[in-house]
A and B are shown apart, each in its own frame.
Chain A
């Protein structure tokens, strides 16, 4: 490219300052739009991935058990590590264990990790705080939070529950250091892996693998297993598992037709909105320059040079505007909107910025700008030099003959002028329609979400439950209190109940009671657990063994009779809750079995199949009679969801009786939950009075488990719902607002540039007798296109959104969105204002002067 092209590009940009500024502003706006959407999308994906990794306790891509291979773990590690796809590989083993001196209950067992090197710790989200990594198999590094009273050098006894020794094996270990864990995964400690311990303390080593790429881990693992198949034992099988915490892990299964269609749709809407803005502004600017470009062609500028000139101008505008847009997008999209969006679930999710967001946003903006120039460039290519020096207007599409002999009205003249510039009109109309349509969609989603959540919201203003406060620590160091861990251990004293019952602001109060029993299992349950044991690589926990052998720990919950019709027993095909509506439950011979779970040593996941089924009997030595089981396919917490917002943790098995039956069976059972409604308008009063009564009541204390009374309920749920909806509306509103701004800019730009270029035409109309009033009317008609398109979009969008929400959720949340109506009003006002300004621009010069204009 000769030096004259850059100089010419600079000259042209500086001599058309207003046009350059408007284009630059469009580029800034587009960058902000891309940056905002990408920031939110990226942070959601990143946060989901990080949260999943913290939940699973590691950031390895996959693990390959040594079992099945005719190689030692060390030999297998060497083979795996030499694969070109593998970035890092380590030996790791897990063993369920508990401290034999204090933890007599095997349920308190947590994992001990055996690792072959210290660098594994960072992959397990462990941070060393004191001492050192174990150097010998008889040393252990302990979790500081689990063992706060111990020091480096202390000796500690552990019973290991996996491995070959029946009933586990005890080992005395020396404490060599401490760590803290960021993962949501409770670990006792870390030991040094040693081949001599294999089979004795743990049931085999795994090779933990990180590939070079996080994409398609399944495929990479399959290939690795295939390459290692020659080392399998006769009849052995490689049984590697993928860590699905990685979003790219099962990327193949992510790209279903539906997901692809959704991504294409969102991308298309975004690109379309941005493209409309830049295309309209930039292409109109270039089209205005068509004669100049033709002239440059006459004096010897080749088409290639013209294309280089236009591209360079685009790059120059981008060089200044994109960084500005990215900075604005960083503050609007990432700093302001992303936190709002990330707190939408009610929990503040971790999120972090990645420079890739800016790179992709900038790239997309540049692409949109350059893509917008392609059509004018094509037109320039078609333009012959003679057309640009001709005194005749530049060629447009040939107009069809019309047989009309009526004298044209302002409306007809406006229609004729609109049809002459169909492309520009279409862009303006589409842009205006899109912005209003998006507001409608966001409004429908927000309304749908609200109604959907309201459908399953708690029935009571307030409820109390004793709840254990648990602290979660995120990788970035933030500590968040998780108050969801409630179980049936907390007893609310009679003194508290009496105190609340006396309150004047109270309208109604109900008690939920519970009793723990050891019930007889069933042959079906035993078979289910046996099948689970046979396919699990871990030993069964003691409670599971007991359940398999016919004895289950259970909780029976007493629910006031009048509330039993709100016990959830399933969901219909639309996801709506189905409540128990039978009569057998009240006959004193039936009980609802709503499921349960028994945790395993192997971590947070438990075995969820602890049920008695239809035909089984709930029978216990501590109960006066046996009850026929009515089986429901829900877990205990879900069954009571409508009644208790503070849903309890899974118990081993949970049964529900109406209070009339329950009281006879368990006359001394304790109250675990109080359900309250306030008198109308006195919710706040009741809340503060109940808080005063329960304040300071602690039922049970141990280092990590302080059971305190929590007060929650529908009022809190509504508050949280409103916060979530605010987040949706705010984020959606800003995005739609940017697109609305794009629509407005398109409308203003199209109208004003059109008017300026047609001043002579308007003067001719005036010269032949068009009055000012008629001219004004004609301009109003011409500029009404955007507003009419917006009105159509609002009407159709509202009807369609409503239909989609009803079809998807069975909810009629109403179709008309207030924000969409406001957006339409903005369009109408802008349309009117543009008409006035246009008229001013036209009438500012006398007719004679305008007639002389080229």
Chain B
């Protein structure tokens, strides 16, 4: 088991009001699984992903990745853990402006003091179909190309888990499908563990395991019995 979330709860306080975005969620993901999380807007799926990736702090509960308790770590240690073991892909790509594709992709390694292997990076960019664009700035790329660059950056450090938040949300259906196929390929060929958030049922059908979340609770899980 690579991801284990236990009693995961996140309550947002806003003055006297409070909103429970995630309510006592328990979830396990096996190594090499491709899991999609679906739900309506505001159902808590993004909150779940952020907590699984150590981007936010839960009000209650715990998350372990490969046995390491994320929220027992100090902030800097959690950041280092994240850059080594977790890759992120966002709907809005979130490439660093001012850096070209190559620099964006190799940045997490550089932050760890590791010099990126040139052959490996070239191979990664080639496999994602953006080798020709390696020196382009983010603003010079199409949406699909930017998302591929973001996936490349997420994979550069060979993470144990890839978390994708609506990776096709900003793309047209054709490009979205291409990105989806790419993720599937990564999962099949590299046994990359992927947890993907989407509101698109068709795309969710392409994954081996589908979790439905509503009002902060898991209401269905095609892989039930393991969680």
Query: Complex Cα distance A297/B90, Å?
Result: 14
A398 beta carbon closer than 8 Å to chain B: yes
Tell which of B75, B82, B96 touches A300, judged by Cβ atoms closer than 8 Å. Answer: B82
Residues of B within 8 A of A300 (CB): 79-80, 82-84, 108, 111-112, 157
Q: Which of B26-34, B49-57, B121-129, B201-209 contacts A (4 or more CB under 8 A)?
A: B49-57
Contact residues of A with B, CB < 8 Å? 2-4, 7-8, 11-12, 14-16, 292, 295-305, 384-386, 389, 391, 398
Tell which of B15, B79, B98, B165 touches A12, judged by Cβ atoms closer than 8 Å. Answer: B98
CB pair B108–A384 under 8 Å, yes or no, is no
Residues of A within 8 A of B110 (CB): 2-4, 7-8
B94 beta carbon closer than 8 Å to chain A: yes
The chain B residue with its CB closest to the CB of A297 is B79
CB pair B56–A385 under 8 Å, yes or no, is yes
B76 beta carbon closer than 8 Å to chain A: yes
B97 beta carbon closer than 8 Å to chain A: yes
CB pair A398–B15 under 8 Å, yes or no, is yes
The chain A residue with its CB closest to the CB of B51 is A386
- The smallest C-beta distance from A486 to any residue of chain B, in angstroms, reads 73
Query: Complex Cα distance A298/B90, Å?
Result: 11
- The smallest C-beta distance from A631 to any residue of chain B, in angstroms, reads 80
Residues of A within 8 A of B112 (CB): 2, 300
B107 beta carbon closer than 8 Å to chain A: yes
The chain B residue with its CB closest to the CB of A384 is B56
Q: A2-B110, A4-B111, A8-B107 are known contacts. Are A298 and B97 too (CB-CB below 8 A)?
A: no
B92 beta carbon closer than 8 Å to chain A: yes
Residues of A within 8 A of B103 (CB): 11
Residues of A within 8 A of B90 (CB): 389
**Chain A to chain B contacts (Cβ below 8 Å), 14 pairs:** A2-B111, A2-B112, A297-B79, A300-B80, A300-B83, A300-B108, A300-B111, A303-B75, A305-B111, A384-B57, A389-B88, A389-B94, A391-B91, A398-B15
B113 beta carbon closer than 8 Å to chain A: yes
The chain B residue with its CB closest to the CB of A11 is B98
Residues of A within 8 A of B108 (CB): 299-300
- The smallest C-beta distance from B42 to any residue of chain A, in angstroms, reads 12
- The smallest C-beta distance from B6 to any residue of chain A, in angstroms, reads 20
Query: Complex Cα distance A673/B37, Å?
Result: 106
Query: Complex Cα distance A297/B83, Å?
Result: 9
Tell me how many residues of B have a C-beta within 8 Å of chain A.
33
- The smallest C-beta distance from A847 to any residue of chain B, in angstroms, reads 22
Q: A11-B103, A391-B92 are known contacts. Are A299 and B97 too (CB-CB below 8 A)?
A: no
B217 beta carbon closer than 8 Å to chain A: no
CB pair A302–B76 under 8 Å, yes or no, is yes
CB pair A298–B88 under 8 Å, yes or no, is yes
> Which residues of chain B from 14 to 47 have a CB within 8 Å of any chain A CB?
14-15
Of A15, A16, A398, the most chain B CB neighbours within 10 A belong to A15
Residues of B within 8 A of A16 (CB): 98
Query: Complex Cα distance A690/B82, Å?
Result: 93
Residues of B within 8 A of A298 (CB): 55, 82, 88, 94
CB pair A389–B55 under 8 Å, yes or no, is yes
Query: Complex Cα distance A385/B86, Å?
Result: 14
Residues of A within 8 A of B113 (CB): 2, 4
Residues of A within 8 A of B99 (CB): 8, 11, 15
B4 beta carbon closer than 8 Å to chain A: no
Query: Complex Cα distance A498/B54, Å?
Result: 104
- The smallest C-beta distance from B214 to any residue of chain A, in angstroms, reads 21
Q: A300-B79, A300-B83 are known contacts. Are A386 and B111 too (CB-CB below 8 A)?
A: no
Q: A300-B79, A398-B15 are known contacts. Are A15 and B98 too (CB-CB below 8 A)?
A: yes
Residues of A within 8 A of B96 (CB): 292, 295-296
Query: Complex Cα distance A295/B15, Å?
Result: 27
- The smallest C-beta distance from B37 to any residue of chain A, in angstroms, reads 16
Query: Complex Cα distance A305/B75, Å?
Result: 13
Residues of A within 8 A of B15 (CB): 398
CB pair B50–A299 under 8 Å, yes or no, is no
Closest 8 CB pairs of A and B: A300-B83, A15-B98, A4-B110, A386-B56, A385-B55, A386-B55, A2-B113, A302-B76
B160 beta carbon closer than 8 Å to chain A: no
Q: A4-B111, A300-B83, A305-B111 are known contacts. Are A386 and B98 too (CB-CB below 8 A)?
A: no
B153 beta carbon closer than 8 Å to chain A: yes
Residues of A within 8 A of B54 (CB): 385
Query: Complex Cα distance A3/B82, Å?
Result: 20
- The smallest C-beta distance from B81 to any residue of chain A, in angstroms, reads 9
The chain A residue with its CB closest to the CB of B76 is A302
Residues of B within 8 A of A304 (CB): 76
Residues of B within 8 A of A296 (CB): 96, 107
Residues of B within 8 A of A4 (CB): 107, 110-111, 113
Residues of B within 8 A of A8 (CB): 99, 107, 110
Query: Complex Cα distance A329/B88, Å?
Result: 49
CB pair B97–A301 under 8 Å, yes or no, is no
CB pair B107–A299 under 8 Å, yes or no, is yes
Residues of B within 8 A of A302 (CB): 76, 79-80, 111
Residues of A within 8 A of B55 (CB): 298, 384-386, 389
The chain A residue with its CB closest to the CB of B88 is A298
Of A2, A297, A386, the most chain B CB neighbours within 10 A belong to A386
Query: Complex Cα distance A304/B50, Å?
Result: 22
Residues of B within 8 A of A297 (CB): 79
The chain B residue with its CB closest to the CB of A3 is B110
- The smallest C-beta distance from B206 to any residue of chain A, in angstroms, reads 24
Query: Complex Cα distance A302/B79, Å?
Result: 6
Residues of B within 8 A of A11 (CB): 98-99, 103
- The smallest C-beta distance from B221 to any residue of chain A, in angstroms, reads 24
Query: Complex Cα distance A385/B90, Å?
Result: 13
Residues of A within 8 A of B84 (CB): 300
> Which residues of chain B from 119 to 168 have a CB within 8 Å of any chain A CB?
153, 157, 165
Residues of A within 8 A of B153 (CB): 299
